[in-house]
Amino acid sequence: MSAVRYSFGGDEHVFVELNEEMSLEAFFKGMAICGELQRRAVPGVTEICPANASYLIRFDPDVIRPEAMLQGLQEIEAAVGSADLELKTRIVEIPVLYNDPWTRETLMRFRERHQDPSSTDIEYAARINGYGSVGDFVAAHSGAPWFVSMVGFVAGLPFLFQMVDRAKQIEVPKYLRPRTDTPKLTVGHGGCFGCIYSVRGAGGYQMFGITPAPIYDPAQKLPYLRDFMVFFRPGDIVKWKPITREEYDRDVAAVEAGTFTLAIRPVSFSLKAFLGDPKGYSRQLVEALHGH
């Protein structure tokens, strides 16, 4: 990775850019640094916010001087180094109705803002990524796990990074001009990042489908949201599960009844093991999800 860049944001923040481009190495190093900072419980540190290839620290300058905060982060960075980074996390299966009628209706309203007004978002994504059909594209999109690299933009929205060889990653540009509407729980994609729109609103990512699974709920009605209104956290691993319209309607009914749940399993992720065999290691993660 290139040299790490530190900069102050006003009197209370330090922004640390680990790399100019997203990579699993940069993401894991940031997670390791943030984890160690949390473990040390440094007096004066009030917020730790990891992101794709960077992180932001908020601190109280009356408790810890800015120079001391910076020096402490640099010491942690040196200690983390290029060690075999491991992360205790969880893998989650998220059902997706691809090519659903709601995102399709929405995208048709905004075709003049799209690179290819003659096709749908998922058809366009399949074509520019070299897939012969939408079915082949869905198989590739759902066939490997994805990392949640950060949560934000709007409340509870996860950014996801595909866990495959760099050359095989799905990449699509954002809309030429953002939409003024996106259905809640749309599964979208822009650049190299996937996402789930946690609420209805504006957006510019290509729309591939929709999930019935709420990921943000201030009322915390469902079992997996009882601990916190935002479900995802950086480091989570997501496996998309294609579902039918019948299965989608069943899941929506379960959400309304308060009985819907997600398949969630704890896992330990090794960056070194993954980089040594991305396909095989990803398969092991998915097998762990189903207890194989």
pLDDT at 215: 98
Q: Which fold has domain 88-289?
A: Cyclophilin (2.40.100)
What value does the mean pLDDT of the chain take? 93
Those residues whose C-beta lies under 8 Å from the C-beta of residue 37, and which sit 6 or more positions away, are 45, 48, 57, 72, 73, 76
The percent of residues in the chain predicted with pLDDT above 70, rounded, is 98
One fold for 5-82 and 88-289: no
Region 18-46: mean pLDDT is: 89
What is the model's pLDDT at position 3?
A: 81
pLDDT digits (tens, 9 = 90+) for 110-126: 999 999 999 999 999 99
Q: For residue 1, is pLDDT > 90?
A: no
Model confidence at 66: pLDDT above 70: yes
In this prediction, residue 288 carries a pLDDT of 83
**Topology annotation, domain 5-82:** Gyrase A; domain 2 (3.30.1360)
Domain boundaries, the chain: 5-82, 88-289
Supply the pLDDT for residue 292: 57
Per residue in 164-190, pLDDT tens?
888 889 999 999 999 999 999 999 999
Q: How far apart are CA 118 and CA 198, in angstroms?
A: 28
User: What does the pLDDT average to over 117-141?
Assistant: 97
Q: Quick check: 261 pLDDT over 60?
A: yes
Whether the predicted pLDDT of 195 surpasses 60: yes
Q: pLDDT tens, 67-87?
A: 999 999 999 998 887 556 788
Q: For position 2, what pLDDT does the model report?
A: 55
* Whole-number Å distance between alpha carbons of 98 and 80: 40
